[in-house]
Amino acid sequence: MIPRGSYKLDHLGRLSDHRGLFEHAVGTKRREELGYCTDDNARLLVVTSREPDEGLAQSLNRLALRFVLDAQGANGKFRNRMDRAGRWTDRATTDDCWGRSLWALGTTVAQHPDPSIRQMAVQGFDRGIAQRSRWPRAMAFAALGAVEVLATDVDHGPARALLIDALDVIGPVPTGPWAWTEPRLRYANPVLAEAVIAAGAALDSAADLERGLTMLAWLLDLETPQGHLSVTGTQGRGPGDHGPQFDQQPIEVAAMADACWRAYTLTGNEMWIRGVTLASAWFAGANDIGQRMYDTMSGGGFDGLQPDSVNLNQGAESTLALISTMQRASAFVPAE
């Protein structure tokens, strides 16, 4: 496992300029020609809002907040793509970028120590919460933001209403061996379970809390057949598919760490610590090919685990996934 406190934000600083965080890299070098995306800047806002508000974390946090708020339209929807010159190249939607932005703004509202930053975040959150998405993952990410806001304002009716709608969009778990709300696993799968767990707890719904825990336990068992984490690959996974699958993406591992951390904090059941430590260990090399998934020099996360090699590019999503996982593991991984 990666020792506590060993992660650093420096590579995220190198991937950023005055506008925001660039999406892609070749090795450690940012690919400016491919521009920026709101998805990654929202993730940056999440991880920096969890950090002490000082130094590089402070400057990256303000950068990410400006980017996310600039991406938002007056109707609360979000654009996702900006070119290297700072021009938005797509229309505002309620796709994943909307959900991740609400997650990030809600996290900022609940966890940031600066009242002025929290106020900016809540204004953006309140605009966005009026919208809804037909996509389960977008609603799941938005639900995580709503849970954060409800933790600071239990009377926030729009946040409570979104949780109810998110549970409906995610749907029930069918009976039988495939204990998942979708016929096929896709991407960021644990976020669906985490959203159901978090919403169930926030709404005092024991049935929904148990539904989410059942989903997460099933997924964790499915993705640890040999005792280490072996997450769903980029092509997805159905009932008849078997692992290991490739390419494996760090976003899957980070989502598992988040979901298991949530389950542990709400239940106190130490079985969930295992999911967090397995996620940390995946980056350290306890994976299907036994390769480390981060650069000890740069602090960047590698972009994908392949059948016999590692994609050594260190893009924003992978680096943020590494850091997010280490943040969650910090309570359970011994210091050096």
The pLDDT tens digits for 143-165 are 999 999 999 999 999 999 999 99
pLDDT > 70 in the chain, percent: 97
Q: What confidence score (pLDDT) does residue 5 get?
A: 61
Architecture of the structural domain at 1-34+171-336: Alpha/alpha barrel (1.50)
Mean pLDDT over residues 105-127, rounded? Answer: 98
Closest to 219 in 3D by CA, of 164, 259, 273: 259
CA 262 to CA 273: how far, in whole Å? Answer: 10
pLDDT of 3 higher than 80: no
175-to-178, 217, 220 alpha-carbon distances in Å: 7, 15, 18
Q: What confidence score (pLDDT) does residue 1 get?
A: 62
Q: What confidence score (pLDDT) does residue 4 get?
A: 53
The pLDDT tens digits for 51-75 are 999 999 999 999 999 999 999 999 9
**How confident is residue 332, by pLDDT bands cut at 50, 70 and 90?**
confident
Query: Bridge-partner residues for 82, per DSSP?
Result: 36, 88
pLDDT > 90 in the chain, percent: 95
**How confident is residue 176, by pLDDT bands cut at 50, 70 and 90?**
very high
Q: Extract the tokens encoding 177.
A: 């061996």
CA 51 to CA 41: how far, in whole Å? Answer: 15
**How confident is residue 331, by pLDDT bands cut at 50, 70 and 90?**
confident
SS3 state at 95: coil
CA 334 to CA 336: how far, in whole Å? Answer: 7
Mean pLDDT over residues 238-257, rounded? Answer: 95
Domain ranges of the chain: 1-34+171-336, 35-131
pLDDT of 223 higher than 80: yes
CA 293 to CA 270: how far, in whole Å? Answer: 26
Q: What confidence score (pLDDT) does residue 229 get?
A: 98
**How confident is residue 7, by pLDDT bands cut at 50, 70 and 90?**
confident
Q: Return all residues near 129 (Cβ < 8 A) that are at least 6 apart.
A: 76, 102, 142, 146, 158, 159, 162
The pLDDT tens digits for 299-328 are 999 999 999 999 999 999 999 999 999 999
Q: What confidence score (pLDDT) does residue 154 get?
A: 96
Mean pLDDT over residues 329-335, rounded? Answer: 73
Instruction: Report the 3 state secondary structure along 172-227.
Output: CCCCCCCCCCCCCECCCCHHHHHHHHHHHHHCCCHHHHHHHHHHHHHHHHHCCCCC
Contact assessment for residue 19 and residue 64, using Cβ atoms and an 8 Å cutoff: no
Mean pLDDT over residues 175-180, rounded? Answer: 94
CA 90 to CA 76: how far, in whole Å? Answer: 15
131-to-98, 99, 106, 140, 184 alpha-carbon distances in Å: 9, 10, 15, 13, 26
Contact assessment for residue 194 and residue 206, using Cβ atoms and an 8 Å cutoff: no
Rounded to the nearest integer, the mean pLDDT of the chain is: 96
Q: What confidence score (pLDDT) does residue 294 get?
A: 98
Q: Return all residues near 155 (Cβ < 8 A) that are at least 6 apart.
A: none
The backbone torsions φ and ψ at residue 96, rounded to the nearest 5 degrees and listed phi first, read -55, -35
Mean pLDDT over residues 260-273, rounded? Answer: 97
